[in-house]
Chains A and B, each alone.
Chain A
């Protein structure tokens, strides 16, 4: 059974057709990339999958459940967790406190007003574990707004990880990063996929990363699926080359 199944989904904003009849099938355990020129509808696609706004038509199936009408919160509870193109974190809190919010939500105790020592220890232990996975231990006590951009994005990914995603949606995880930071993020994505066994769907502009990581790729152009296939198939596809290099090529 596929983990994520999009059936002819469309999204219209007034007269603008942002996505038209997009179909996508992703299996459990896959590292899957969505690429396409600017304005192709990649982030809109993520917004539909994560429930940021509803699809105009079509069906979204996640893990065997039709989630079209589900709120974002409910989708997260099912294991569908995302990051954003522009980093969304809790700026005035420390790295540790940022991750703790996710951990408490995952443990179902966000509303607990007087926790016992045992619960607090359990929460803190889980936060430490997560910080270790993404190598943030040394930064734990720093305020995230003071961190470098790359580290802030790692914090966001770690927060998403705290919700134990079955499917992690990463919207341009390396956007705005330098070489070293990009390398670090790519390693983290590998760790999440290989060691944490998380299926990952990511949007990315850096083709080296896409072709280095993805098992399969879907190319969007003007809101429609241009091609889907393995990196090899996509690289050899003349329509994809045309979309990226212009019609003249």
Chain B
């Protein structure tokens, strides 16, 4: 068995058994759900950042849209959780597909600035439209509903909800893994590596950036929908540019070139947030900032980059 397959089996085994071992090291299951949700959105972002090589600093827009999509459906239309997740995913994904053409011709900092600007537009709409989104107070009035499998009813308390999240995380991760091993994924990486060469091999670079942006939007929308269900609440801050920045930090911390980088980054970030903020409630972000600087300066390929380099030397 290849080393890679071995690593994958270990990771999935650990994820499947989280409720059994996480409390033993001082964690709790809802924390793990949160980590998976942020890891899923960061995987979407990393498709752009790490694999297509374009800088999106506005992924929170699609994360937030997913949240509002799922929340609003539960408030107004149905109590079916599956439909809520699907609607949220579509909200993020379709928005990204529709907005992609504005972005796909831009480069570098211009691309990044437009992603931020789009995110801020969604933020202001959500923050001001009190009657529909709940404005600055956020959207409430919905909560996780029980799932029905035939005659069996499952209440989504912390542990069942973790598996609900893990189910969607697995779908998202499998889709990304398959994509990265496909010609489409190869083409994304080619664009990251050398746009000019790609274009002069006949590849329509802009269209592929659009595709990558759209796929990332669906993944972030899915994560956002799960996040709304996790909290039974959505804040317009989920759409704010700071939230987008956090996803970038997670991607960089974990390692942008690695498939599992976003999960590792999310574990570090959310873990830090949880543990350090219980000791320093007002300035835990200082510690994340310091860690971020250290990683960028000394380990540009993130935590997984360090491990990989060690493995190469050994």
A88-B196, A111-B208, A114-B178 are known contacts. Are A105 and B184 too (CB-CB below 8 A)? no
Please measure, in the bound complex, the distance between the C-alpha atom of A97 and the C-alpha atom of B192, giving whole angstroms. 14
B182 & A102 in contact (Cβ 8 Å cutoff): no
A90-B190, A93-B189 are known contacts. Are A73 and B197 too (CB-CB below 8 A)? no
A105 & B201 in contact (Cβ 8 Å cutoff): yes
Asked whether A223 is an interface residue with its Cβ less than 8 Å from the other chain, the reply is no
From 80 to 122 in chain A, residues with beta carbon under 8 angstroms from any chain B beta carbon are: 81-82, 84, 88-93, 97, 100-102, 104-106, 109-115
Asked whether A159 is an interface residue with its Cβ less than 8 Å from the other chain, the reply is yes
B199 & A72 in contact (Cβ 8 Å cutoff): yes
A73-B204, A104-B187 are known contacts. Are A113 and B178 too (CB-CB below 8 A)? yes
Asked whether B186 is an interface residue with its Cβ less than 8 Å from the other chain, the reply is yes
From 190 to 249 in chain B, residues with beta carbon under 8 angstroms from any chain A beta carbon are: 190, 193-194, 196-204, 207-208, 211
Q: Which residues of B contact A115 (CB under 8 A)?
A: 182-183
Interface size on A, residues (CB 8 A): 34
From 47 to 97 in chain A, residues with beta carbon under 8 angstroms from any chain B beta carbon are: 50, 72-73, 76-77, 81-82, 84, 88-93, 97
Can you name 10 A-B residue pairings with CB atoms under 8 Å?
A77-B202, A97-B186, A104-B183, A104-B187, A110-B186, A110-B208, A111-B207, A113-B178, A123-B183, A160-B201
B201 & A159 in contact (Cβ 8 Å cutoff): yes
Asked whether B11 is an interface residue with its Cβ less than 8 Å from the other chain, the reply is no
Asked whether A163 is an interface residue with its Cβ less than 8 Å from the other chain, the reply is yes
Please measure, in the bound complex, the distance between the C-alpha atom of A89 and the C-alpha atom of B199, giving whole angstroms. 12
Candidate in A50, A88, A156 with the most chain B CB atoms within 10 angstroms: A88
Candidate in B185, B202, B208 with the most chain A CB atoms within 10 angstroms: B202
Asked whether B179 is an interface residue with its Cβ less than 8 Å from the other chain, the reply is yes
From 157 to 176 in chain A, residues with beta carbon under 8 angstroms from any chain B beta carbon are: 159-160, 162-163
Please measure, in the bound complex, the distance between the C-alpha atom of A156 and the C-alpha atom of B197, giving whole angstroms. 9
A76-B200, A82-B200, A105-B201 are known contacts. Are A90 and B183 too (CB-CB below 8 A)? no
A50-B200, A73-B202, A82-B200 are known contacts. Are A88 and B194 too (CB-CB below 8 A)? yes
B186 & A104 in contact (Cβ 8 Å cutoff): yes
Task: Give the bracket for the number of chain B residues in contact with chain A.
Answer: 20 to 34
A111 & B211 in contact (Cβ 8 Å cutoff): yes
New contact pairs (16) apart from A81-B201, A84-B200, A110-B183, CB-CB < 8 Å: A73-B202, A82-B200, A90-B189, A93-B190, A97-B186, A101-B186, A105-B187, A105-B202, A110-B184, A110-B186, A110-B203, A111-B207, A112-B183, A112-B184, A113-B178, A115-B183
From B215, which residue of chain A is reached at the shortest CB distance?
A113
From B194, which residue of chain A is reached at the shortest CB distance?
A90
Candidate in B189, B190, B204 with the most chain A CB atoms within 10 angstroms: B190
Q: Which residues of A contact B186 (CB under 8 A)?
A: 97, 100-101, 104, 110
From A82, which residue of chain B is reached at the shortest CB distance?
B200
A72 & B200 in contact (Cβ 8 Å cutoff): yes
Chain A proximity of B51: nearest CB distance (Å): 11
A111 & B194 in contact (Cβ 8 Å cutoff): no
Please measure, in the bound complex, the distance between the C-alpha atom of A101 and the C-alpha atom of B186, giving whole angstroms. 7
A73-B203, A109-B183 are known contacts. Are A101 and B190 too (CB-CB below 8 A)? yes
Please measure, in the bound complex, the distance between the C-alpha atom of A93 and the C-alpha atom of B207, giving whole angstroms. 22
A111 & B184 in contact (Cβ 8 Å cutoff): yes
Please measure, in the bound complex, the distance between the C-alpha atom of A73 and the C-alpha atom of B203, giving whole angstroms. 6
B182 & A101 in contact (Cβ 8 Å cutoff): no
A104-B187, A111-B208, A114-B182 are known contacts. Are A76 and B202 too (CB-CB below 8 A)? yes
Q: Which residues of B contact A110 (CB under 8 A)?
A: 183-184, 186-187, 203, 208
Chain A proximity of B219: nearest CB distance (Å): 14
